[in-house]
Amino acid sequence: MLKLSDIKSSEEELREYYEQLRSQHVSPLWLGGGISLEPKSKAIPYVWHWRDLRPQAMRAAQLVGTEQAERRVLRLTNPELPGASASNTLVANIQIVMPGEIARAHRHTAAALRLIIEGKGGYTVVNGHRIPMHPGDLVLTPNWTWHDHANDTDAPMIWLDGLDTPLVRMLEGGFYEEYDMETQAVGEGADPPPQWHYPMSQARAALERLAAERGGSPANPIVLDYTNPLTGGPTMPTIACQIQLLRPGEHTLAHRRVCCANHHVIEGSGYSLVGGRRLDWEEKDVFTVPTWTFHEHVNTGDRPALLFSFTDAPVMKALELYREEAKAR
Ligand SMILES: [Fe+2]
């Protein structure tokens, strides 16, 4: 019987063989794409500072009209990812709508969230429901919901957009459609559907209640999941949202999870240690934590810091890929 160790092929034979395979669009597994013992993200930990982002958003508003751009959006691009996204499966973008402007109605199968950063209260219309947008509010436009945005105030509206477009693109499941009018008709009277609107006032009250109950200890982080009131599950099938209160001086325990996470600093200042890098952050900054990367957050300010984050954890959980691990001390 022929043993593997008896095989003696010449370089010439192998070269010819590989050449043939290439021409037939076949690839030998043993030559590459090695096995990874654990997830290794191409994305790197990175922070985008509001002091840079805001002037560029305002500049975009001067340079580019709403006729030229379906949405006036600046994409935060992770330096090591080939696509224009902050993280592997999720984008984190900055959108600006100036006074009197609208962003016309459309829908897509990519799911989207908005975390309002700045403004005096424009609104988004989701499937005919008008949803107010105040700083810190979370507004959702899930998969295939019609949505348009408007700013009827005298100040710019700027928000963080989070979408699962890289995931949808990878899954080749993207559909897009424009509405037949610029804006949707708005129904009268009814409150906005609660599964699409999570006001900052409620999140803040819930965090403060939890902080009062728990007191202060690194083992007891003050963190809340936003849950869909209709399902009790995450905000959307592909994106989970959380908000964390860091007490002054708090330094969280390091852990890592199989999900990518984008964070937005609603209030406060501090830094995060993410995969050995120090990301200093201030109010309204955005930073990204790649999957399976140890991270810990530190509030260096003299008042509570509020961190909003969104992750692809629901996808990882649905596919039974989710894990988390505390760092050994
Ligand atoms: Fe959209």
Please provide the DSSP assignment of 222-241 as one string.
EEEE-B-TTTSSBSSSS-EE
Q: How far is the CA of 55 from the centre of ligand 1 (A)?
A: 23
Q: Are residues 65 and 140 in the same domain?
A: yes
- What is the band of 214 on the pLDDT scale with cuts at 50, 70, 90? confident
Do 146 and 255 share a domain, yes or no?
no
Query: How far, in Å, is the centroid of ligand 1 from the Cα of 306?
Result: 26
Q: How far is the CA of 277 from the centre of ligand 1 (A)?
A: 33
Residue 309 in domain: yes
287 in the Ramachandran plot: left (φ > 0), alpha (ψ -120 to 50) or beta? beta
Looking at the structure of the chain, the number of domains it has is 2
The stretch 227-248 carries a mean pLDDT of 97
C-alpha 205 – ligand 1 centre gap (Å):
30
Quick check: 234 pLDDT over 80?
Answer: yes
Q: Across residues 251-265, what is the average pLDDT?
A: 97
Query: What is the predicted pLDDT for the residue at 48?
Result: 98
Ligand 1 centre distance from Cα of residue 100 (Å): 19
265 C-alpha vs ligand 1 centroid, how far in Å? 23
Domain boundary among 148, 166, 193: 193
Q: What is the pLDDT of residues 178-187, one digit of tens each?
A: 999 999 999 8
pLDDT at residue number 5: 72
Mean pLDDT on 281-298: 98
What length does the chain have?
329
Question: In terms of domains, do 286 and 186 share one?
Answer: no
Mean pLDDT across the stretch 8-14?
A: 94
Ligand 1 centroid to Cα of residue 284, in Å, is: 22
| Structural domain containing residue 306 | 200-326
In a shared domain, residues 84 and 204: no
Domain final residue pick, 158, 193, 228: 193
pLDDT-based confidence at 192, cuts 50/70/90?
A: confident
Output the CA 280–ligand 1 centroid distance in Å: 31
- Do residues 291 and 224 share a domain? yes
Mean pLDDT of the chain: 94
pTM listed for this prediction: 0.94
How many angstroms is it from 72 CA to the middle of ligand 1?
11
Q: What is the pLDDT of residues 267-280, one digit of tens each?
A: 999 999 999 999 99
CA gap 245, 249 in Å, rounded = 12
* Region 295-307 average pLDDT: 97
Percentage of residues in the chain having pLDDT higher than 90: 87
- Measured in Å, residue 290 CA sits from the centre of ligand 1 at 25
CA of 159 to the centre of ligand 1 (A): 13
pLDDT in the model for residue 216: 67
37 in any annotated domain: no
If 0-12 CB within 10 Å is exposed, 13-18 middle and 19+ buried, where does residue 210 land?
Answer: middle
Q: Cα(121)–Cα(3) distance, rounded to whole angstroms?
A: 75
- State the number of CA atoms in the 13 A half-sphere of 248 facing the CB: 3
The CA distance from 144 to 112, in Å, is 10
pLDDT for residue 203: 97
From ligand 1's centre to the CA of 87, what distance in Å? 19
At 35, the pLDDT band (50, 70, 90 cuts) reads confident
- Per residue in 99-132, pLDDT (tens digit) is 999 999 999 999 999 999 999 989 999 999 999 9
- The answer as to whether 39 is a domain residue is no
Residues 77 and 124 in one domain: yes
Contact 146, 184 (CB under 8 A): yes
CATH of the domain at 225: 2.60.120.10
| Residue ending a domain, choose from 170, 193, 216 | 193
**Residues paired with 48 in a beta bridge:** 286
Domain co-membership, 180 together with 222: no
Structure confidence at residue 36 as a pLDDT band (50, 70, 90) = confident
Residue 266 shares a structural domain with residue 173: no
CA of 2 to the centre of ligand 1 (A): 61
Å from CA of 107 to ligand 1 middle: 6
* Alpha carbon of 324 to ligand 1 centroid (Å): 32
Instruction: Report the separation in Å between the CA atom of 275 and the middle of ligand 1, taken as the mean of its atom positions.
Output: 32
Question: For position 264, what pLDDT does the model report?
Answer: 98
Q: Is residue 321 one of the residues assigned to a domain?
A: yes
Task: For residue range 66-98, list pLDDT tens digits in order.
Answer: 778 878 999 999 999 999 999 999 999 999 999
For residue 64, how far is its CA from the centre of ligand 1 (angstroms)? 18
Q: What is the pLDDT of residue 62?
A: 94
Asked whether the predicted pLDDT for residue 189 surpasses 70, the reply is no
Q: Are residues 247 and 173 in the same domain?
A: no
pLDDT value at 4 more than 90: no
Nearest CA-CA partner of 204 in 122, 297, 303: 303
Indicate whether 183 and 278 sit together in one domain: no
| Separation of CA 70 and ligand 1 centre (Å) | 9
DSSP state for residue 161 in the 8-state scheme: E
The mean pLDDT value for 247-261 works out to 96
Q: What is the mean pLDDT of residues 1-18?
A: 85
Q: What is the band of 165 on the pLDDT scale with cuts at 50, 70, 90? A: very high
In this predicted structure, the answer to whether residue 2 has a pLDDT above a threshold of 80 is no
Distance 148 CA to ligand 1 centre (A): 8
